Structures are given as structure tokens and as C-alpha cells.
Amino acid sequence: MPNSSRRPRQEYIAQHIPGAKFLDLDEVSSAHELGLKHMMPTGRVFADACEQFGIEKETHVIIYDTHGVFSSPRALFMFRTFGHQRSSVLDGGLPAWLAGGLPVESGEPSPMIVTKYPTPKLQAEALRSYEQIVANSTSRTSNQTDLVLDARSHGRYSGRDPEPRSGLSSGHIPNSLSLPFNLFLHQEMGADGTTYTTFLPPEEIRKVLEEAVGMERTDLIIRGSIPVTTSCGSGMTAGILWLGLKLLGVERISLYDEGML
């Protein structure tokens, strides 16, 4: 993520769930002309990564991160958008695993047996492009317009706080609504005193959504009458809103991959 000094691969080598492999979303991605990170990969890039991880079409893939809930929903979005339905997020991630007193291991992963993974077709309706978002922001036909939910902080949404990436203006996409991703999450305390996040129960996520968009629109979203697109600065925390809404049973939902350009 922008301005982060963390070294994820080194953290993985230091400790990880036994048998887990390291997934770098910046490596399993597509190049972008503006240099944007962790853009959705092509089907072949995704399939190649699966093969190197020893994943087959029927493999149940469980994804976790070290914040509790942060980047894992975005990785899940990638698997589901390429049709790999047997995929899940470990709620609470590595911190919850450690809090449960479960074992970890360190070091580089053992070599995997390379598998064959057929090139999947991207579910195009799950993604929105820059051009689609621009058209959506100026549309006057409400029943054909996505409701865009912005996962960034209120300060970045309003323009009060700067964007973490230099050269980008803060503010928001016209007609989008603010729904900071952390509102879908609960802070937990680990055994070592550090905090991590887990998803709120669905009934509490619904209350958060009602506060952001209203009860009537919430009902319409859940029934599928209003399509939703989640957005953020780079497409990462938009995945948290995406998964939170999926936990409510929302089906007409997409993600804006290019974030705030």
C-alpha cells in the first residue's frame, strides 16, 4: 500500500500458518499505463499463479492477511471473479490464529507440485472500468445507475485530508456516498496486546449500511433493485465493502478496480 514501510514477504518468512503460501497481489496483477498497483490480472496470469501454488479448480483456497481483515477480501474478490468459488477468507487472519494458540512455522515454503489450471474467463460484470464510472457519475437514469460506495475515510472523501499517493487530489467521485471500510469491522485484542480486525455480524453490517444510504435503499440493494459498485483509493479496501455486502446476500455488486485516479 502507498507509503507503507512493511515488508510482507519477510513477515511471511518470519511466521505463517503451516503450509500457507505467500500471495503478492502486486505480482499477480496486470500492468497499468499509470503505474497503478494490484490491478486485476488477466485470466492467464491468474491461472499461472494458481499452478505455481499447486491450486486446481476444485482446491478450496483459504486466504488470510496479517491485519485481521484488510487485503484478504481483495484476494478473495480476484478468485471469485475468475470463477473459483471454492475460496474463503479467514476472519481475523493470522492474528486470530495466534490468539487461538494455534501453531505457526517460519522460513521459505516447501516446493509445490505444479498443477494445471485452465485459463478462466473474467466475470466482466464484477468489475467497473474508468469509462463506466465516468458515465455512471453523470447518468440521469436512476434505474440504470450504480450506487457507488467509497471505502476511504470521511476526510479523504470530503477532500479535507490528503491522499496517501502524491499527485492525487482528494475528494470523491460525483454522486458517490461515503462508507469507510472500517465501519464494517470490529477491533479485537490479541494476546500480545496488539489489535486486529474481524467482520461485524451481518445484522450489524446492515445497520451500518442503513446509516450510510438509508433503510429504503438498503432494502433495495439487498433485493437487487439497486446495483452497487465499491470504490476506494486503489481497489484494495473496496474489497472489504464488497465482501461485507456479500455477507448480507447482495448479488448485484461490482468493484471499481482503478480507484481514485
pLDDT of residue 143: 53
So what's the pLDDT on residue 32? Answer: 56
Q: pLDDT by residue (tens digit) across 153-181?
A: 999 999 998 888 766 778 999 999 999 99
* Whole-number pLDDT of residue 211: 98
203-260 pLDDT, tens digit each: 999 999 999 999 999 999 999 999 999 999 888 999 999 999 999 999 999 999 864 3
- In whole angstroms, what is the distance from residue 115 CA to residue 254 CA? 30
Instruction: Please state, for a pLDDT cut of 90, what percent of the chain lies above it.
Output: 77
User: What's the predicted TM-score (pTM) here?
Assistant: 0.92
Q: Where are the alpha helices (DSSP H) in the chain?
A: 8-14, 43-53, 72-81, 93-99, 130-138, 154-158, 202-213, 215-223, 238-247
The average confidence (pLDDT) of the chain is 91
Is residue 50 part of the annotated active site? The answer reads no
Residue identified by cell 433503510 is 215
> pLDDT grade, residue 31 (50/70/90)?
low
Please give the residue that has the higher pLDDT: either 110 or 36: 110
Cα–Cα distances in Å, from 77 out to 198, 199, 211? 17, 16, 25
- The answer to whether 232 and 257 have CB atoms below 8 angstroms apart is no
Residue 34's pLDDT band (cuts 50, 70, 90): low
What confidence score (pLDDT) does residue 259 get? 47
Q: Which of 49, 50, 78, 232 is catalytic?
A: 232
